[in-house]
A and B are shown apart, each in its own frame.
Chain A
């Protein structure tokens, strides 16, 4: 109570039940007990026990703490005992009840059983018996659904035969499903067994085989208890017979009480199932007895029937005997046919050729089988071919021609199956061949030729044959097979013979191959092939030539002109003809290396030879072309040597496979023979080459003299390698020099020619590869000069390499191209190796000799130089060095005196030292000597053995050389890094030529001296430089200090200058700083533009008081003017002595010196800065820089100041402008707001920026809802009508140039409230930029309504006019038709008048309607290309018909050019124009007049003139005739009927087409008038 009990007890609650102790909890100790709800503060749990067994729990809850005291606990326990007793009583009662129930059911079961036993009788149907059992089970047990199945003893399948307690559909489903007994049996495990029944609860997860069929019947779910029946539970009772064979199964389901079966149920089920088993077994026994009886009865009746039949069947037996007789006859004829077949096959087998065999077969078939004609054919590579026809063929029939179409013979040879047709009423009835031959039946025999090829014989009968039997088929098949075997035997025989022949031939041929002459071998091949291969009509054989890179024919036979064929070379390089890139056939086969039989030669494609070769080929074949060819390569291993080509000029596919294999074996033999011959020749050649090489090598290695070796080298080479010219190059450093040449006309002059190695790519190649370089044709090689035609085409470069170094090369040339072969190359390498070694040896030998000499001399000299060098090292005195050097030189070399001449500072030549010394006082300056000048420049050495002869020495000849009797002179320069310092003159009184080693020694000595001299000089120089450097450092330090000071002041000035924008203050401060820094007594700034503004600082200028500065030019102004004018800084140390200035006494300012600097900014001079000082020479040049820098800063400040004022002025002006614009804009806005039309403005992004009050009113939208929103959103409110509007705006914003200035964009939209608004749209453009749009809305509802009323009015009026007119016109016409009785002529006349006037009225109404519609703009043109002539013809025909009716002949005609273009117009409207103008012409022209219509193209228009010769138009009327209803006063006009609307309509219509209309008339009667109008020509691209 007060709570909902839980379904399951918690663990704590179970624990209480188990230990039996009550539990009393309160919140103070925190209740850790599972609570059913919140707010429980106290808890009391008491268990209930009954007979020592737990029976329940009492749980008490309270909302306050400590609610349950000890007393309460005890009371509750007492209550629990009471409750236990009551519960026990209740349990016992229930138990008693259940037991009573069971007993009752047992009783019922027994009585049922008794009842059932009575019901079970063997003679009753099984279903009835089972029904009794099932209902008994239903009553005896709680189970409602009972199902009985029976095992079929044969199939062992369970069939459900009876069921109760289920719906009909379920029963039907159950009955239609069977289940194998074995599967069901597998469920019946011992663990489930209770008595005879098996209870299989689903909770035990039984393994139910898939083929056990179960239907789960859904019924109300019962209590959720342990023993509750699950719909998937099974209760099965198997039924067995007395021999334990399965009989059936009872299944129970759906218990009433929803519980598992209890004991009583099982007992009842046992009893009833036993009964059921008995019944089924009995039933089965009865059934089998019944079956036996049935069988016996059937047998009996069958026997009865047989006896009855026998009486009726006698005539049938007689008939059967007749049939047997006939069949015996058939067997006879069958035997006859077999015999005929055997005879035929025997006859055929005796023939010795294939055609004869087939012919015999065919003719015998005709005669023996009484047939009329036969055809023989065979299948070839090119398809079926008719061989022979024989027998009785209709005249003029041409079986050959029809053989190509489908026929049995064709099928025969293609498929090889027997084909028989007793009549043609089958698939062959349409065969043209059979029809032509008059065939009504045929026999087609296939003949197997082997290898899948068939021939066939088709024998034809002119009458249908009796139907073929299976035996007939066998006979014909055997016949065909027999003959086929004969054919194949024959073929084998010929084949064997042919093979024998071939073998003989091959033997013969290989014997012929013994010769070593290739030409003979090839000739033998060709001859043999022509002999052996029957279809070979011509043959040629060619060999591949590496040299020419082509296939060269060597032997040809059988051609019309064999020699011409031999002239054709099949090259791999030249591909010509239309099929570019495809080689001629022989070349292709040669490259593929595989034999090829070409069934049909496509000459143009297969022989795409150059023109001259084609000519040769034609000459060779005598104009015929090969039809089929066989090409077989001559092949030796992988090496294809050449090609045999065999041609046939008549037959396609002339060559057979055996021809190919024969040719192939001959070709292989030939290749072998050729290879042998080649090898033999090669060995021979090689041997002689090796011999020569040997000799040469001996020759070369025996010589150690280079010269001798070089002389003989090329001659020796010629023994091995033939050449026209040869050149031997030897290497000297990076150059190659010609050492020997042979074969040239100018051999000698070539010797000594030099080439740099790097200049020749051929030598480069030799160096890098070390290999012989062979150029097969120098014309094809880019490394050879292309400008001259070479005499020799082959070139061979042989590198001479010793110790991996190129020491030289030999170049050979030969006249022919492709001359040098790989053998040559090899020989060349060998030779080169020998030659190089020999050359190197010789060189080494010579070298070693020379070395020995040299070493001797060297050691002496080294000693000398060592001595000199150590002596020189100790001194820095130039004179001493020179003297010492001179002495050493005299000691080392042959000479009498040495002089030292040095070059002085001024370039003079000073004689410093002479050893041995002379009386001449030294140093002595020598005169200028040209020789020395030259030597000074060239740093060279001069040597002469006869001084007197040398003109360059002339200046010294007398003064120096003669006195010292010098004859020989060697001048050696003293050279250091900076050039020539002087010379040592080694003189001799004898005539002596110094050798190179002597000169070299002298030079070394001089170099030593020069180094020493330079050292001495450098020492002196270093001293001087150090002193100089110290001085310069001092200067720089002072300068730096000055600069630093200046920079400081400049910085200060700059800080001042940028400190404020008040120019006056800033400048005066700056000037005072200037005064301090320089120092100056006063500084002044004079501005160029405004002379009165002068800034000064410092001591004031002492002008006399009388001086009026306005009338006199003050000195400062004068100076400033000068500076500004010259844009130049000026400095005056003393004004008084400076004649640029001439200041009067009174202007004397008391300053002596000044510095004046222009204030410049770019090119502009702003003014001048002047510094004054009382003392003369106060300012220095060094200060100018700083002052100028200051001046620049001042200029910038002044300029900045000006700019600042400028910007301030500008912004003030802009501010004013902005204000004006705002005023203007708000005025515009006010105007826009005030206009009566709605205005909507959008910006470039289509956002609405203005929406005036009228727009609000017209569109019934608040501006606040619209402004700032995209226009599309607004347009959406107006539906589809606004889409044009939006599209136009979008088009403009995307492409502003699409707007055309004079175009207006207007669209009408219908609002929901029934009003009409017209929107005019215009873009806002600034130049080509799209800024937005302006849309004007105008409420046109009133106009639209007026328009509608008008149109309705016109419609009503015309209707009202037409209705009475209908009556008038109708009745008049009826009367005129005579339908209302006959009329007299006068009556007819009057009625005619009524009719005519009615018609006028009708025309008037139509015209009025037209005019009205045009004026209201409701006429729209449907424009299309229009043919004016067509319209004219319509209208003219109408008018002429009228003329006939009115008896007024008028000639209506047209004049127009043939190429009159179409016009762009509305056809119906143009017809109206024609009608009005032409009928006017008719109306105002008297009878027999004319109306001529002229059409012509004029520019972009077609002009139409309508001319008549009528009354014309009088001058006074001419200006009004296009007015509506105007007809003038002319009586002639008024005499004609008309309403005066025609021309007005015509004019309006023409103008709607953008055309013009006008007229001309002289006004004279009879001259008529001409009306003209134009219409635009139709342009096709529109």
Chain B
């Protein structure tokens, strides 16, 4: 069981991800945008961050860059979960420091499986 931070502006989808991950037995902290994610990350110290790209106030790219620039939290793997699927967008995501870029729509079962794999990979 791990703690996962979700940043997703679309409420339905945020709930869906939170539900899926909780169902898989994880502790979930959900926020609505990148700004909020950056604000809570240091206090929550999650094991993994799942983040949308297009969000109000601060995009996922920026949030990811900020997290990666902070030595206290830069070790936390960031995974983008986005509907933006063009090559350039994926490249930008990975360049901003993300570990993985997952595309929407996704199958919840696939998501929880992938999350478990990543956690295992990062030793959680």
Contacts and interface: CB of A to CB of B under 8 A. Distances in A.
B16 A1371 contact: yes
Interface stretch (B27-35, B59-67, B70-78, B83-91): B83-91
Interface string A1332-1370: 000000000000000000010001001111110111111
B113 to A, nearest CB: 12
Interface string B78-119: 000001111001000000000000011111110000000000
Interface string B14-38: 0011011001000000000000000
Contacts of A1367: 10, 12-13, 16
A578 to B, nearest CB: 68
Interface string A1391-1427: 0000000100010001001000100000000000000
B104 A1366 contact: yes
A1413 B19 CA distance: 35
Contacts of B85: 1358, 1362, 1406, 1409
Contact of A1363 (B10, B107, B108, B109): B10
A1361 B105 CA distance: 10
Contact of A1366 (B19, B23, B106): B106
A753 interface: no
Contact of A1409 (B10, B86, B104): B86
Contacts of B105: 1362, 1365-1366, 1368-1370, 1398, 1402
B54 interface: yes
Contact-residue bracket for chain B: 20 to 34
Contacts of A1362: 83, 85, 103-105
Contacts of B106: 1366, 1369-1370
Of residues B12, B89, B105, B107, which shows the largest number of chain A Cβ atoms within 10 Å of its Cβ? B105
Nearest to B82: A1359
B13 A1363 contact: yes
B55 to A, nearest CB: 12
A1366 B13 CA distance: 7
Interface stretch (A34-42, A119-127, A507-515, A1373-1381): A1373-1381
A1379 B83 contact: no
Contacts of B108: 1370, 1373-1374, 1377
B103 to A, nearest CB: 8
Given A1362-B104, A1363-B10, A1369-B106, A1374 B20 contact: yes
Contacts of A1374: 16, 19-20, 23, 108
Contact of A1359 (B19, B23, B83, B107): B83
A1365 B104 contact: yes
A504 B10 CA distance: 126
Nearest to A1360: B83
B16 A1379 contact: no
Contact of B16 (A1355, A1358, A1370, A1413): A1370
A207 B86 CA distance: 92
Nearest to B53: A1359
A1373 B16 CA distance: 10
A1368 B105 CA distance: 9
Of residues A1360, A1379, A1402, which shows the largest number of chain B Cβ atoms within 10 Å of its Cβ? A1379
Contacts, number: 68
Given A1365-B105, A1398-B105, A1370 B83 contact: no
A808 B19 CA distance: 136
A468 to B, nearest CB: 63
A1413 B89 CA distance: 14
B11 to A, nearest CB: 10
Contact of A1358 (B13, B54, B83): B83
A1363 B83 contact: yes
Of residues B23, B103, B108, which shows the largest number of chain A Cβ atoms within 10 Å of its Cβ? B108
A497 B13 CA distance: 118
B10 to A, nearest CB: 6
Task: Give the interface SS of chain A, mostly helix, strand, loop or mixed.
Answer: helix
Contacts of A1360: 83
B94 to A, nearest CB: 17
Of residues A1359, A1398, A1413, which shows the largest number of chain B Cβ atoms within 10 Å of its Cβ? A1359
A1369 B107 contact: yes
Contact of A1377 (B17, B86, B109): B109
A1073 to B, nearest CB: 100
Nearest to B112: A1377
Contacts of B13: 1363, 1366-1367, 1370
Nearest to A1379: B23
A206 B105 CA distance: 101
B86 A1366 contact: no
A1196 B109 CA distance: 110
A1416 to B, nearest CB: 11
A1359 B12 contact: no
Contacts of A1358: 83-85
B111 to A, nearest CB: 8
B16 A1366 contact: yes
Contact of B89 (A1355, A1361, A1371, A1402): A1355
B13 to A, nearest CB: 5
A797 to B, nearest CB: 103
A1379 B104 contact: no
Contacts of B10: 1363, 1366-1367
B75 to A, nearest CB: 29
A1362 B86 CA distance: 13
Nearest to A1419: B87
Contacts of A1402: 105
A1355 B23 CA distance: 32
A913 B17 CA distance: 162
B54 A1359 contact: yes
A753 to B, nearest CB: 110
Contacts of A1369: 105-107
Contacts of A1359: 54, 83-84
A23 B54 CA distance: 105
Of residues A1369, A1370, A1371, which shows the largest number of chain B Cβ atoms within 10 Å of its Cβ? A1370
Given A1362-B104, A1365-B104, A1367-B12, A1355 B109 contact: no
A1397 to B, nearest CB: 12
Contacts of B104: 1362-1363, 1365-1366
A1180 B67 CA distance: 126
A1366 B107 contact: no
B54 A1370 contact: no
A784 B22 CA distance: 118
A1368 B23 CA distance: 18
A1421 to B, nearest CB: 13
A1359 B83 CA distance: 5
Contacts of B19: 1374, 1379
Given A1355-B89, A1359-B54, A1379-B19, A1366 B83 contact: yes
Contacts of B54: 1359
A1252 to B, nearest CB: 37
A1367 B85 CA distance: 17
Contacts of A1361: 83
Given A1363-B13, A1398-B105, A1355 B20 contact: no
Nearest to B16: A1370
A1370 B17 CA distance: 8
A1406 B104 CA distance: 11
B8 to A, nearest CB: 10
A1366 B11 CA distance: 12
Contacts of B20: 1370, 1374, 1379
A-B interface, 4 closest residue pairs, ranked by CB to CB distance from nearest: A1362-B83, A1366-B105, A1370-B16, A1366-B104
Given A1359-B54, A1359-B83, A1366-B10, 11 more contacts: A1358-B83, A1360-B83, A1362-B83, A1366-B13, A1369-B107, A1370-B107, A1370-B108, A1374-B20, A1377-B23, A1377-B109, A1379-B19
5 contacts: A1360-B83, A1363-B13, A1368-B105, A1369-B106, A1374-B23
Interface of A: 1351, 1355, 1358-1363, 1365-1371, 1373-1374, 1377, 1379, 1398, 1402, 1406, 1409, 1413
